[in-house]
Amino acid sequence: MIQRPSTGRRGLIVATAAGLAMPSVLRAQGTWPDRPIRLIVPWPPGGSTDVVARIFQQRLGEVLGRPVIVENRGGASGAIGAGEAARAAPDGNTWMLAYDTEATNQTVMRLPYKALEAFAPVCLVATGPLALVAHQSTPYRSYQDVVEAARKAPDTINYATSGVGGLAHVATTLLQQKGDFRIAHVPYRGGGPAAQDAVAGHVPLFMSNVVVISQHIRSGLLRPLGVTTRTASRHVPGAPSFAEQGVGDFEAPTWWMLLGRAGTPEPILARMSAAIRQVVQEPEVRQKIEEQGADVVASDPEGARRFLQSEIDKWAAVIRSADIRADG
């Protein structure tokens, strides 16, 4: 007669087999991180996302006990780097510092992933104002100067942004809709290259987060005409908000968020969340970020998830009404 294992033995055999079959990612939870950590920045060097990442990079590595390696993967308004991050194994070795375009890209582009399915929001690191700036050589002394000139000669005044469908582009589109004027969009492959041309005077207007242009505003090369926060920002002294200049309840803050891969074991996500929140709130790191023109938020994962969902929903309507597409 064949002897069958008892219920207790069968349970032990099943449990042992399951343990042997577990992916290595689960077995490694207790030792994570066991190698250098890859932090994808989906923008070229010199842009705001790169600047923010490099401010906390070293200290985050010290807290986690492994080096954090910033990897710039620019192109397609952040979509190329984000696509690579979305394909990474959910083992805690690859993370991404997302920029505000991660929300707008969900509507502007046909992506092979959905942000809130591919990624696990870890921390809303910081937010800040976008500013519309004019080169010092232009005649534009105020936002109203631009509006009046654009109404007289629609689509003849160029403005730069970091790319098609990014928050700077979509926010400026909404300004034009509300103000009944038209200016011509000149998209760049990131904030760094756009800032170089704006500073050189190759493009008269630039809508950008303050991180990449704060030093040029202070030097007087770029003249701020308005900011996208609800009220004036301490980061751009003397520049009123667009809402304060008669554009209704207009508000469009820029932001940076740390994302992990969906499916990453919860203990790893929790440890990274605690580490990044600790680091960006440390006085030295916070000061460096805020000196660039951003405000540290350091949200928990659920706060980051809610914020990302709200940004996707908010800007989808503007993108569709203006028929903004990645190829235009």
pLDDT level of residue 76 (50, 70, 90 thresholds): confident
Burial pattern 56-85, b for ≥16 Cβ within 10 A else e, equals bbebbbebbebebeeebbbbbbbbebbbbb
Domain ranges of the chain: 35-128+253-322, 130-245
What is the distance between the alpha carbons of residues 91 and 156, in angstroms, rounded to a whole number?
50
Residue 57 has pLDDT above 60, yes or no: yes
Coil, strand or helix at 238: coil
Q: pLDDT at position 327, please?
A: 60
Q: Quick: pLDDT tens for 105-126.
A: 999 999 999 999 999 999 999 9
Laid out side by side, the sheet with 130-135 consists of 184-187, 158-161, 205-209, 130-135, 222-227
Q: pLDDT at position 46, please?
A: 85
In CATH, what class is 35-128+253-322?
alpha beta
Domains 35-128+253-322 and 130-245 share a fold: yes
Segment 237-262 mean pLDDT: 95
Residue 17 has pLDDT above 50, yes or no: no
What's the mean pLDDT when you consider all of the chain?
90
Q: Quick: pLDDT tens for 203-245.
A: 999 999 998 899 999 999 999 999 999 999 999 998 999 999 9
pTM (predicted TM-score): 0.85
Q: pLDDT at position 6, please?
A: 43
Structure tokens at 63: 């807290």
Residue 15 has pLDDT above 90, yes or no: no
What is the distance between the alpha carbons of residues 226 and 108, in angstroms, rounded to a whole number?
25
In CATH, what class is 130-245?
alpha beta
Segment 94-109 mean pLDDT: 96
Q: pLDDT at position 30, please?
A: 67
Q: Quick: pLDDT tens for 167-202.
A: 999 999 999 999 999 999 999 988 889 999 999 999
Q: Is residue 317 exposed (0-12), middle (13-18) or buried (19+ Cβ within 10 Å)?
A: exposed
Q: pLDDT at position 21, please?
A: 36
If phi over 0 gives left and psi between -120 and 50 gives alpha, with beta otherwise, what is residue 155? left
